[in-house]
């Protein structure tokens, strides 16, 4: 059993990264699964290099797309600097999915039989500062009389449990579907991508946690975007997807609010 007394060392640094912090756009971009980096105290969690570079550790390509969108939209971007294998910042501490000991077909030895104390330490080190930073950003904007539209950016694996996923971009929402509805309507005629609502999963699977915490109680426009990761492996694909999503958001927001 792996139990750490300290989750992050000084060398690991801050778990939360804020980019384009002075951005003036209405959109606030969030990337919970931006990195596959593990804190130095955790070694490789007993996983192979292949597993550690796969979708179980992070959302490949998502941060690159979010960075391009941040530039396009002059949007503040907040992302987590460590892998969801240590703590999935899009899940509350009460969720069994916050720290998994099995992900798809991979056993994660370093996460087996964790004590409650270790789970709490990980939440305190990674989840709380991340969600608090998002909350602070929204509060500061509210005080300054600025609007906030929360857009979370994710990627998903094209093959899951041996099943190929045909959807290319998922537009996901929780109970407030205003922005998602508008984006889906705006994109209805596009030939560029196969776009679907709440695919390859949706709120019932617990994936809208950040939106639930920050957008729904405050009535902020919000959406979660899922991009199939084979489309954004290379820079050219990342740019095409980022530009497409930028246009889609701009056009949708022009008719929806904020
Ligand atoms: Zn994700």
CA of residue 227 to ligand 1 center, whole Å: 9
pLDDT at 5 over 90: no
Surface-to-core class of residue 50, CB atoms within 10 Å of its CB (0-12 exposed, 13-18 middle, 19+ buried): exposed
CA of residue 8 to ligand 1 center, whole Å: 22
> What distance lies between CA 209 and its chain's CA centroid?
10
Whether 118 maps to a domain, the answer reads: yes
Whether 3 maps to a domain, the answer reads: no
Containing domain of residue 63, as a range?
16-256
Whether 34 maps to a domain, the answer reads: yes
CATH number at residue 61: 3.40.630.40
Which residues have a beta carbon within 5 Å of ligand 1, which is an ion?
Answer: 33, 59, 154
Domain count, the chain: 1
Q: What is the pLDDT of residues 198-216, one digit of tens each?
A: 999 999 999 999 999 999 9
Nearest-angstrom CA–CA distance, 234 and 172: 24
Average pLDDT over residues 135-161: 97
CA of residue 189 to ligand 1 center, whole Å: 26
pLDDT at 145: 97
For residue 10, the tally of other CB atoms under 10 A from its CB is 7
CA of residue 65 to ligand 1 center, whole Å: 13
């Amino acid at each position: 059993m792996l139990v750490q007394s300290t989750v992050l060392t000084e060398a690991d640094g801050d778990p939360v990264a804020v980019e384009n912090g002075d951005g003036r756009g209405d959109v606030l971009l969030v990337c919970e699964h931006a990195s596959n980096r593990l804190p130095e105290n955790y070694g490789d969690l007993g996983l192979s290099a292949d597993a550690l570079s796969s979708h179980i550790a992070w959302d490949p390509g998502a941060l690159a797309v979010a960075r391009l969108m941040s530039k396009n939209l002059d949007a503040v971007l907040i992302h987590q600097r460590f892998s969801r294998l240590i703590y999935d910042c899009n899940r509350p501490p009460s969720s069994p999915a916050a720290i998994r000991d099995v992900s798809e077909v991979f056993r994660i030895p370093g996460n087996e039989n964790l004590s409650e104390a270790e789970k709490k330490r990980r939440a305190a080190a990674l989840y709380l500062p991340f969600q608090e930073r998002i909350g602070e950003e929204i509060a500061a904007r509210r005080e300054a009389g600025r609007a906030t539209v929360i857009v979370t950016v994710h990627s998903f694996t094209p093959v899951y449990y041996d099943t190929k996923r045909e959807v290319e971009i998922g537009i996901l929402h929780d109970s407030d579907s205003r922005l998602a509805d508008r984006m889906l309507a705006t994109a209805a005629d596009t030939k560029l991508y196969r776009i679907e609502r709440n695919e390859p999963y949706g709120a019932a699977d617990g994936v809208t946690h950040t939106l639930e915490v920050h957008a729904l109680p405050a009535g902020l426009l919000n959406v979660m975007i899922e991009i199939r990761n084979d489309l954004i492996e290379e820079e050219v694909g990342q740019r095409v997807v980022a530009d497409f999503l930028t246009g889609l958001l701009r056009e949708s927001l022009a008719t929806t609010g904020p």
